[in-house]
Amino acid sequence: MKKLYTILASIEQAGEHMIRLENVSKKFKINGRDDTVIKDINLSINKKEIFGLVGETGSGKSTILRLMNGFIEPDEGSIYLRGEKLDRKTRHQLVKETSMIFQGFNLLSNLNVIDNVLLPTKIRKGNKKENIDKAKELLSFVGLEDFHQSSIRTLSGGQKQRVAIARTLITNPKIIFCDEPTSALDDKMSYEILKLLKDINEKFGTTIVLVSHDISVIKALCNRVAILENGRIVDIVSLTTKEIKPVSYKEALLSD
Amino acid sequence: MINQYLETFMIFRGEIFKAFYETLDMMFTAMVISLIFGLLLGFILFITRSDGIYRNNTVYFICSSLINITRSVPFILFIIVMIPFNRMLIGTGFGVNASKIPLSLIGISIFARFTEQDLLDVNKNIYETSYALGANTIQYFTYFLLREARSSLILSFTSTIISLLSYSTVMGIIGGGGLGYLALSEGYHNFNYKLMWIIIIMMILLVQIVQAAGNFIARISDKR
């Protein structure tokens, strides 16, 4: 009985932490020289949290994101997703419970909007009809119900990012990684994307990890933020997030 | 004047059709082999490059060198030095079937290089995207890489076919026959310039048709 309790307790604990990094370091070789990028990172990200990573260019924030989804393997330390250790064997399975949004949207230009959204389901296999219905539902959710058959080149940046968001949502991910999701967008479109991410977090309870160099993006969205400098976490700050409001150019110019 | 050309065509129609058939026969085999093995070799080059996902300098160097060697030997000499190889492979060094071997090898080399270049032109982020969306390496190739490179690959293969067509014209040297050889032996060497011009026009039309078809297929497959 006692053993059962410990098992239950460990499951409970695993459930709380969506992502856990223990003493993670990663070196990259640049011009044949070892150049440490990530140094001894310890970090836990909770369920349903919107967690931010900020830092200068080259501080290693994007690298941490790629370590978290297993695209890059750490040299030292361990990474756990939902309590399971990420390694070469498990990474393809674990990454399927996550998804990612990129700065450059990374849609397939040879597929139309709905086929881009359906792409992750093709990889996983499943009921085709159900998937198509779900893709249509998600495209309505992101405000693109009239664009099912459009080709990607006809869309604006904000619309492309919304297609990418619909694409991440189709597999019901537990975690969404966002790498500078609004950097390529103007303020109004950025606002729409941030609002959408917030809605997703509230509606589906999805954990979101957000990398940005833009403080206003981080402030608008994140519950907690890790500040990175030269591959180390120098501080973790808790934020009380406000309601995201659209700001006109005039307001932005006049505010402090 | 046109009548004289028609007359020549009618006199030589048996030879022309036979030569045309030989050309198509050589071309078809070489095209199929170039498509399959050229694509495969192009993929190997792409993934084993110094910035590829399975970086392997040895494999890349060997494949790349073989391609360069095949392409750098003057083709007529290449055909000649391949004679013993043909004999080893199919028992005879001469004839239409033997001609298919050097033609296929040059086709593989050309298309492999094209494939490598087309895959390099695909957005580099696509590998990471495929991983983040849950794809394994095979799915990365089929659902992401090939799909994005599709129309460039079609155009590259069209160019490969046209190169093969011009290479096929010198196959007469090992008894491969074909249109080019007929134009040269019956037309040029026998002072039958009308026949030579008829065949030149046929070749031009053939290239035009192949290029138009390639462009059309590439256009309908390209939604970028």
- pLDDT score for B187: 87
pLDDT of the residue at B49: 95
The answer, for A241 touching chain B at a CB cutoff of 8 Å, is no
Q: Is the pLDDT of residue B68 over 90?
A: yes
CB contact under 8 A, A119 and B139: no
A110 and B148 within 8 Å at the Cβ level: the answer is yes
Q: Looking at residue A14, what is its pLDDT?
A: 47
Contact of B224 with chain A, judged by CB distance below 8 Å, is answered with yes
B142 → chain A, closest CA residue: A123
DSSP lists the bridge partners of residue A55 as A228
pLDDT digits (tens, 9 = 90+) for B127-179: 999 999 999 999 999 999 999 999 999 999 999 999 999 999 999 889 888 99
Mean pLDDT score across all residues of chain B: 93
Identity (one letter) of the amino acid at B195?
Answer: L
Task: State the smallest CA–CA distance between residue A154 and chain B in angstroms.
Answer: 9
Domain-wise residue ranges, chain A: 18-103+175-254
Q: Are A211 and A179 in contact (CB under 8 A)?
A: yes
Is the pLDDT assigned to residue A241 strictly greater than 80?
A: no
Closest CA in chain B for residue A167: B133
pLDDT (tens digit per residue) in B104-113: 999 999 999 9
Residue range B192-208: average pLDDT?
93
Q: What is the pLDDT of residue A58?
A: 77
Confidence of residue A31 (pLDDT cuts 50, 70, 90): low
Tell me the mean pLDDT in the region B214-220: 94
Both structure tokens of B156: 């590259």
Residue A214 neighbours by CB under 8 Å, 6+ apart: A180, A182, A183
Fold (topology level) of A18-103+175-254: Rossmann fold (3.40.50)
Tell me which chain A residues have a C-beta less than 8 angstroms from the C-beta of B135.
Answer: 123
Q: Which residue among A71, A108, A112 sits closest to B131, beta carbon to beta carbon?
A: A71
Quick: pLDDT tens for B77-106.
999 999 999 999 999 989 889 999 999 999
A95:B147 CB<8 A: no
Q: Do B133 and A69 touch (CB under 8 A)?
A: no
Q: What integer pLDDT is reported at residue A191 of this predicted model?
A: 87
* For residue B223, pLDDT beyond 80: no
Contact B143 A177 (CB under 8 A): no
Contact residues for B180 (Cβ-Cβ < 8 A; gap 6+): B23, B168, B169, B170, B171, B172, B199, B203
pLDDT of A189 reads 83
Please identify among residues 103-142 of chain B the ones whose CB lies closer than 8 Å to any CB of chain A: 123, 125-126, 128-129, 131-136, 139
A201 touches chain B (CB under 8 A): no
Q: Considering Cα of A192, then A198, then A199, then A200, what sign does the dihedral take?
A: positive
pTM of the model: 0.85
Q: Is A109 on the interface with B (CB under 8 A)?
A: yes
pLDDT at residue A214 in the model: 84
Give the tens place of pLDDT for each residue, A83-135.
889 888 899 999 999 999 999 999 999 899 999 999 999 998 888 899 999 99
CATH topology of domain B2-221: MetI-like fold (1.10.3720)
Distance CA A78, CA A88 (A): 12
Q: Do A47 and A60 form a contact (C-beta atoms < 8 A)?
A: no
pLDDT of residue A6: 58
Which has the closest alpha carbon to B168: B39, B30, B15?
B30
Residue in B with minimal Cα distance to A168:
B133
Name which of B136, B148, B224 is nearest A92 (Cβ-Cβ). Answer: B136
Q: Any chain B CB within 8 A of the CB of A184?
A: no
Q: Please tell me what DSSP assigns to residue A75.
A: S
**Does residue A168 surpass a pLDDT of 60?**
yes
Tell me how far apart the alpha carbons of residues B71 and B31 are, in angstroms, rounded to a whole number.
Answer: 17
**Where does residue A48 fall: left (phi above 0), alpha (psi -120 to 50 degrees), or beta otherwise?**
left
Structure tokens at B159: 């160019």
**Is the Cβ of B50 closer than 8 Å to some Cβ of chain A?**
no
Q: What pLDDT score does A184 carry?
A: 84
SS3 category, A112: strand
Q: Do B132 and A108 touch (CB under 8 A)?
A: no
| Structure confidence by residue, pLDDT tens digits, A56-93 | 877 888 889 999 999 999 999 999 998 889 888 899 99
To the nearest whole Å, the CA of A247 is away from the closest chain B CA by 32
ipTM here = 0.85
Q: What is the pLDDT of residue B151?
A: 93
